[in-house]
C-alpha cells in the first residue's frame, strides 16, 4: 500500500475526551474514528489489525474443535422473553419493531439464538460435544461509553456456545476453552490472568474473566500471593478475622445516642471498635422490595453478591424519606432489632446478614429511633434474618479464602470470558434436548465463551506503546514493513524505492510504502513511529548507491546499496541487504 493513497493520514490532535493511550494513539495514527459515542469506524489500518486478531481467534477456536457459523443480528424478542432476559438485561437491551410489528432485540450475546437453532435439530449424544461460534456485531446500550475501544456500544465479539451431554463432559470443554483462550491472547501478545468473576445477566453458576493487568482497566480483582487465587472484586471471597467471640453475651440495652449518622459518629460516641458496630444498609430493588443488608462495621457491602442472594437485578439506596415513611426508622439509626414490626404493612422487607456478623459478639448500632442506640446486639438472640451469606466486599490485605495469606488488589482489562451455563437456558427454552444413549431426551448442559475483538486490539496498544506511538507485535501489525522513501526528488532514489516496494510485495511481505514527495524525513519517521509497524526500512541518498541496486548490491561503505532497517521495538539501526531483510522477516 502506498501511504500517499492510504485513508486517512496521521494527525497531531487527539479528541478532547481522549484519556486512554490506546484511544489517543489509535485516533492519531488513523486506525479508528468515532461515529456517535461508543460506535466506531475501523479505518483501513485498524481493519487490518482487527482482521489479524480475528484470524488468530478463528485458528485457535477451529483447532479446539469449535465450528464457525453465524446467527442473525436481530433476535426475536419472544426468545428473550422465554428465558426472562428482557427483565434481567433490561436497560442495556435495545429493541426494534419491523413493519409487521414483530419485535426484535439487538443482542449483546446470543444464547437464545443458538439454543433456538440447536433445538430445531434432533441431535443425539453422538453429535456431541458441540461448540458453535461466530464473529458478530454485539450491541450494548451502555450508560456511559468510555473513549476509545474499551467500553463501546457496538463491537465485534467472538461468541461461542457449547452443548454437552452432562457436567463432566462440559468441564472438559470449559478447560479446553480456558487453555484455548490463554493461547489466543498469548499469540496476540497479551498475558492474561484468569479471574473468577460475576456472570452478570448471562446466568449460570460460575465464570471466569481473562484479564490483562493494566492501571486503566475497569476490572478490579484480588490475587493471593502465589497467584493461585484470583477473583474479581464482584465475587472475591475472604476469611473474616474472628474478633471477640470469647466474650459472653451481655444483655441488650437501649441507650441515648445524640450523634451524627455516620459509622465514625457511633465509634466516637461509644468508644467501641468499628468492627463491633453493625453497618445497616437499606436498598430498594427493581421490584420495589426493601433490602436491609447487615454487615460488620469495618466491612463494606458487595452489591453484586447481595443481588445474587436476593435473586434481584438492580439495587438503589433507599432515600431518607423512604426510611422514615415506609420503614418508620431513622437514617443513621437503622437496626435489625424489631424492624419487621415497625414497617408499613405494604412494605416487603428482606433482611440479609453477612457471615461476618458471626465473628463478633455484643455488637452495637442504631435502635430505629433518632438518637437512640442499642448495645450488645447478638444475632439469633436479638434478631433473625431472612438470608445469611457472604455479602462482603473483599479488599487489599484481607485474608485469602484458601488460607494462603493476604490478598492484593489489581486492575485490568477484561478481554474475554467463559461461563458455565448448565441448564440455565436449556431448561427454559422448550425442546432444547438431545437423545441420550438410553434413548431418553435430556437437556443440553451448556457453556458460553466470549472475546471482544476491539477491546483486545485496544489492550494490545495499552501494553505496547512508547511516547512516540504504537509498537505492534509482529503477528497483529497492520503491515510487516514500513518502507520510507527519502530524497524521492532524486529520480534514481525514487526508482530504487519503488523497486524495493515491488520486490517486497512480490515476496508476499505486507508493506506500507511512504512514497510522499513533499514531506521532510523527520515527519515520515514520526509517522512511522506513531503507526508502529515492526520493521522500518529506509531508502535514501545515503543508502542508495547509484548503479547497483540493493537486491544484488555490492556494498561500498556500510550504508551504500543496503537498506537501513530498524525494528520499532529496538533502538539500533542496521544496514541489511534485501536478502538479509527477507530472512529476518520470515523468521519473525
Residues in the site for its own copies, rule: CB under 8 A?
1, 4-9, 33, 35-36, 39-44, 46-47, 50, 65, 67-76, 91, 94-99, 102, 104, 106, 113, 116-118, 120-121, 123, 126-127, 130, 132, 137, 139, 141, 143, 153-154
| Overall size of the chain counted in residues | 588
Q: Which is nearer to its own copies, 58 or 541 (CB)?
A: 58
Q: Which is nearer to its own copies, 6 or 528 (CB)?
A: 6
Q: Is there a contact between 218 and 389 (Cβ–Cβ < 8 Å)?
A: no
What element of type H or E holds 578?
A: helix 578-587
DSSP, res 551: G
Q: Which is nearer to its own copies, 46 or 240 (CB)?
A: 46
Query: DSSP states of 417-435 as a string?
Result: EEEEEETTTTTTSTT-EEE
**Cell numbers given for 486:** 527519502
Give the residue among 228, 196, 229, 189 at the shortest CA–CA distance from 210: 196
DSSP, res 237: -
CA distance 253 to 364: 9
CA distance 368 to 327: 9
Query: DSSP states of 85-130 as a string?
Result: HHHHHGGG-EEEE-TT--EEEE-SS-HHHHHHHHTTS--BGGG-SE
**Cell numbers given for 460:** 494490545
Q: Which is nearer to its own copies, 10 or 224 (CB)?
A: 10
Q: Which is nearer to its own copies, 96 or 255 (CB)?
A: 96
**Cell numbers given for 497:** 524505492
Least distance CB 524 / its own copies (angstroms): 15
Partners of 470 in the beta sheet? 465
Give the residue among 175, 65, 181, 93 at the shortest CA–CA distance from 451: 181
Q: Which is nearer to its own copies, 366 or 447 (CB)?
A: 447
Q: Which is nearer to its own copies, 131 or 277 (CB)?
A: 131
Least distance CB 571 / its own copies (angstroms): 33
Least distance CB 580 / its own copies (angstroms): 29
Give the residue among 520, 528, 514 at the shortest CA–CA distance from 569: 528
Q: Which is nearer to its own copies, 163 or 181 (CB)?
A: 163
Least distance CB 36 / its own copies (angstroms): 5
Least distance CB 588 / its own copies (angstroms): 23
**Cell numbers given for 92:** 442495556
Least distance CB 434 / its own copies (angstroms): 12
Least distance CB 494 / its own copies (angstroms): 16
**Cell numbers given for 391:** 455479602
What element of type H or E holds 221?
A: strand 219-223
Give the residue among 534, 472, 481, 543 at the shortest CA–CA distance from 507: 481
> 158 φ, ψ to 5°?
-90, 115
Q: Which is nearer to its own copies, 257 or 483 (CB)?
A: 483
Q: Which is nearer to its own copies, 313 or 387 (CB)?
A: 313
**Cell numbers given for 572:** 539500533
The three-class DSSP label of residue 580 is: helix
CA 170-312-423 angle, to 5 degrees, is: 20
Least distance CB 154 / its own copies (angstroms): 5
Q: Which is nearer to its own copies, 139 or 299 (CB)?
A: 139
Least distance CB 24 / its own copies (angstroms): 16
Least distance CB 115 / its own copies (angstroms): 12
Decide the pairing of beta strands 278-285 and 290-296: antiparallel
Least distance CB 107 / its own copies (angstroms): 12
Amino acid at each position: 500500500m502506498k501511504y500517499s493513497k492510504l485513508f486517512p493520514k496521521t494527525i497531531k490532535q487527539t479528541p478532547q475526551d481522549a484519556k486512554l493511550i490506546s484511544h489517543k494513539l489509535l485516533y492519531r495514527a488513523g486506525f479508528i474514528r468515532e461515529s456517535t459515542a461508543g460506535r466506531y469506524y475501523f479505518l483501513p489500518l485498524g481493519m487490518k489489525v482487527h482482521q489479524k486478531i480475528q484470524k488468530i481467534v478463528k485458528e485457535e477456536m477451529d483447532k479446539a474443535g469449535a465450528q464457525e457459523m453465524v446467527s442473525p443480528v436481530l433476535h426475536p424478542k419472544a426468545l428473550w422473553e422465554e428465558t426472562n432476559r428482557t427483565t434481567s438485561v433490561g436497560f442495556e437491551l435495545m429493541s426494534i419493531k419491523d413493519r409487521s410489528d414483530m419485535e426484535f432485540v439487538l443482542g449483546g450475546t446470543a444464547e437464545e439464538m443458538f439454543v433456538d437453532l440447536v433445538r430445531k435439530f434432533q441431535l443425539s449424544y453422538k453429535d456431541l460435544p458441540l461448540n458453535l461460534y461466530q464473529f458478530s456485531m454485539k450491541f450494548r446500550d451502555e450508560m456511559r461509553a468510555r473513549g476509545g475501544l474499551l467500553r463501546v456500544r457496538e463491537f465485534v465479539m467472538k461468541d461461542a456456545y457449547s452443548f454437552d451431554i452432562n457436567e463432566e463432559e462440559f468441564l472438559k470443554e470449559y478447560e479446553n476453552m480456558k487453555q484455548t483462550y490463554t493461547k489466543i491472547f498469548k499469540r496476540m501478545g497479551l498475558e492474561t490472568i484468569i479471574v473468577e468473576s460475576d456472570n452478570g445477566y448471562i446466568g449460570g453458576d460460575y465464570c471466569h474473566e481473562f484479564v490483562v493487568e493494566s492501571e486503566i482497566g475497569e476490572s478490579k480483582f484480588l490475587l493471593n500471593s502465589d497467584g493461585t487465587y484470583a477473583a474479581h472484586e464482584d465475587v472475591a471471597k475472604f476469611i473474616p478475622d474472628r474478633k471477640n467471640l470469647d466474650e459472653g453475651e451481655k444483655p441488650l440495652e437501649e441507650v441515648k445516642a445524640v450523634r451524627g449518622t455516620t459509622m465514625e459518629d457511633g465509634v466516637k460516641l461509644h468508644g467501641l471498635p468499628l468492627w463491633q458496630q453493625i453497618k445497616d444498609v437499606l436498598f430498594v430493588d427493581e421490584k420495589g422490595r426493601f433490602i436491609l443488608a447487615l454487615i460488620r462495621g469495618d466491612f463494606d457491602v458487595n452489591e453484586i453478591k447481595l443481588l445474587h442472594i436476593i435473586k434481584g437485578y438492580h439495587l438503589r439506596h433507599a432515600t431518607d424519606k423512604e426510611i422514615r415513611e415506609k420503614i418508620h426508622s431513622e437514617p443513621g439509626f437503622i437496626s435489625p432489632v424489631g424492624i419487621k414490626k415497625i414497617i408499613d404493612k405494604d412494605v416487603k422487607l428482606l433482611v440479609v446478614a453477612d457471615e461476618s456478623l458471626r465473628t463478633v459478639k455484643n455488637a452495637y448500632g442504631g435502635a430505629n429511633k433518632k438518637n437512640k442506640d442499642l448495645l450488645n446486639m447478638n444475632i439469633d438472640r436479638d434478631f433473625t434474618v431472612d438470608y445469611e451469606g457472604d455479602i462482603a466486599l473483599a479488599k487489599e490485605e484481607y485474608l485469602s479464602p484458601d488460607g494462603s495469606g493476604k490478598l492484593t488488589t489489581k486492575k485490568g482489562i477484561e478481554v474475554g470470558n467463559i461461563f458455565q451455563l448448565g441448564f440455565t437456558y436449556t431448561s427454559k427454552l422448550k425442546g432444547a434436548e438431545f437423545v441420550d444413549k438410553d434413548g431418553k431426551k435430556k437437556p443440553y448442559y451448556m457453556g458460553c465463551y466470549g472475546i471482544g475483538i476491539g477491546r483486545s486490539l485496544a489492550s494490545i496498544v495499552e501494553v505496547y506503546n512508547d511516547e512516540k506511538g504504537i509498537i505492534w507485535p509482529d503477528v497483529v501489525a497492520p503491515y510487516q514493513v514500513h518502507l520510507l522513501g527519502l530524497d524521492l526528488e532524486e529520480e534514481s532514489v525514487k526508482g530504487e524505492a519503488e523497486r524495493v516496494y515491488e520486490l517486497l510485495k512480490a515476496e508476499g511481505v505486507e508493506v506500507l510504502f511512504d512514497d510522499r514527495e513533499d514531506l521532510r524525513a523527520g515527519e515520515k519517521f514520526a509517522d512511522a513511529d506513531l503507526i508502529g509497524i515492526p520493521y522500518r526500512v529506509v531508502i535514501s541518498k545515503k543508502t542508495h548507491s547509484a548503479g547497483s541496486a540493493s537486491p544484488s548490491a555490492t556494498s561500498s561503505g556500510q550504508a551504500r546499496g543496503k537498506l537501513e532497517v530498524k525494528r520499532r521495538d529496538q533502538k539500533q539501526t542496521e544496514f541489511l541487504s534485501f536478502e538479509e531483510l527477507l530472512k529476518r522477516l520470515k523468521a519473525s
